[in-house]
Amino acid sequence: MNEYQFNVIGHIKSPYKQKFAIPRQPGLIPEASGQLVIAAPFNDEAIVRGIEAFSHLWLVFVFHETADKGWSPMVRPPRLGGNTRKGVFATRATFRPNPIGLSVVKLDKVVWKNGQLILEISGLDLLDGTPILDIKPYLPYSDALPSAKGGFADAAPSTAMTVSMSEQARIFCQQQQQHPHLQVFIEKVLKQDPRPPYKKQREGEQHYGMTLYDFNIKWTVNGEHNHVTEITQLL
């Protein structure tokens, strides 16, 4: 048997509403908080009993947004500037023979809300709506390997980008009591320079927009500086 069918056990609610600006791996932006909403018939308290004893979880998920785009044996990791090719199994690219992703996230809380079983998680790198196939506790004694080699991605990406905010943007962030870390979150998302590699070479001022949570964020990039011009609430 060479085909297997899986059941989606839940879906992700994520601040990242589009692929653009999602960090390349989990844990890079701890302020990104979301939820895993367990789907029926798995929404049974018994299924997560004991899970709170673990600080982190592995999530196995479907790259649902790009799943129908197929795959190729070699990919160009953005980390290498988008020009060097590596074998798909030597990368964490989304275009794989089986469009399955793997992310470790922090487990903040398990809650029941309006009859829904919800795992509150943070540090995620997942698109809103991502279907989850499995949850496994992270086991530090086996999963944490400090002497492991990281190939072409041996250290977390860093940039020289700086970020400033207009007065409107700063005040807007301060008013969001439901998202007390919103300003730091936005700053970290921009600091990683989400632009595609070819745009990083362009001269002059560039204008960008994105949605995080239900906020529309507009900013400009000039050299190595991002300036958030305006944040508005989506209706």
The residues binding ligand SAH (CB under 6 A) are: 19, 22, 24-26, 63-66, 92, 94, 101-103, 125-127, 130
Nearer to ligand SAH, 16 or 215 (CB): 16
Output Rg (C-alpha) for the chain, integer angstroms: 19
Helix (H, G, I), strand (E, B) or coil at 225: strand
By the 10 Å C-beta count (0-12 exposed, 13-18 middle, 19+ buried), 153 is classed as middle
Q: How far is the CB of 162 from ligand SAH (least distance, A)?
A: 22
Q: How far is the CB of 205 from ligand SAH (least distance, A)?
A: 25
Nearer to ligand SAH, 23 or 165 (CB): 23
CA atoms within 13 A on the CB side of 222: 7
Those residues whose C-beta lies under 8 Å from the C-beta of residue 228, and which sit 6 or more positions away, are 163, 164, 165, 166, 169, 186, 190, 217, 218, 219
Nearer to ligand SAH, 25 or 43 (CB): 25
Q: How far is the CB of 167 from ligand SAH (least distance, A)?
A: 31
Q: How far is the CB of 30 from ligand SAH (least distance, A)?
A: 15
Q: How far is the CB of 45 from ligand SAH (least distance, A)?
A: 27
Nearer to ligand SAH, 42 or 58 (CB): 58
Nearer to ligand SAH, 36 or 127 (CB): 127
Nearest to 228 by CA among 168, 153, 149: 168
Tell me the C-alpha distance between 114 and 51, whole Å: 21
